[in-house]
Amino acid sequence: MVVAGDFRNGVTFEQDGNVMQVIEFQHVKPGKGAAFVRTKVRNVITGSVVERTYNPTDKFPQAFVDRRDMQYLYNDGEFYYVMDNETFEQVLLSMSEFGDNFKFVRENVNVKVLSYKGKTFGVEAPNFVVLQVTQTDPGFKGNTATNTLKPATLETGVEIRVPLFIDEGELIRVDTRTGEYMERASAYEE
């Protein structure tokens, strides 16, 4: 059982038949009245986020979300195909289960497939990926200003902003959570 007074970011619990995950929490002890826990929770199945308050003594059954390492193989326009790294079984997933940051993931990269009681509800991309720049304006000698950016298209088709000194064909590290250029990379990471 999970007690509301022990909520921390990332804790998952069952409430009213739904699986909820704590995104933010704050223990509030007003001058008058009883203490309470103000939270922002996400329904992990539907993705909806709501703000709720709980009595610190409220108890909920803990929900165990299975995070499995799988390799992203390819997509056929309608479905994504991933392979279990242990059993080598291929799994077919719908596009709705993939997050917005998945546009940075190239084929043959390991991802985490999230499921609850055997039902897959989401896929987490790695926090950082290495991608090749396929199109950008050429850099000129002396263009080393760190605060000036230009558009660049990456091998997955997504466009981001990179420093002026980055050229076509270079490998760069990208933060998939923010979509920002991090640094140059020397090789792909697996």
Task: Check residue 152 and give its pLDDT.
Answer: 92
CA end-to-end span of the chain: 37
Average pLDDT of 55-67? 89
Structure tokens at 17: 């038949």
Distance CA 151, CA 160 (A): 6
Structure tokens at 58: 């409220």
Distance of CA 44 to the CA centre of its chain: 13
Residues 156-168 pLDDT 10s: 889 999 888 888 8
Q: Is 7 helix (H, G, I), strand (E, B) or coil?
A: coil
Contact (CB, 8 A) for 103 and 158: yes
Residue 46 has pLDDT above 80, yes or no: no
Q: Sign of the C-alpha dihedral, residues 75, 76, 77, 81?
A: negative
Residue 117 has pLDDT above 60, yes or no: yes
Contact (CB, 8 A) for 134 and 117: no
- Domains, the chain, ordered by start: 2-60 (2.30.30.30), 66-124 (2.40.50.140), 128-184 (2.40.50.140)
Structure tokens at 121: 């509800």
Q: Counting Cβ atoms within 10 Å, is residue 113 exposed (0-12), middle (13-18) or buried (19+)?
A: buried
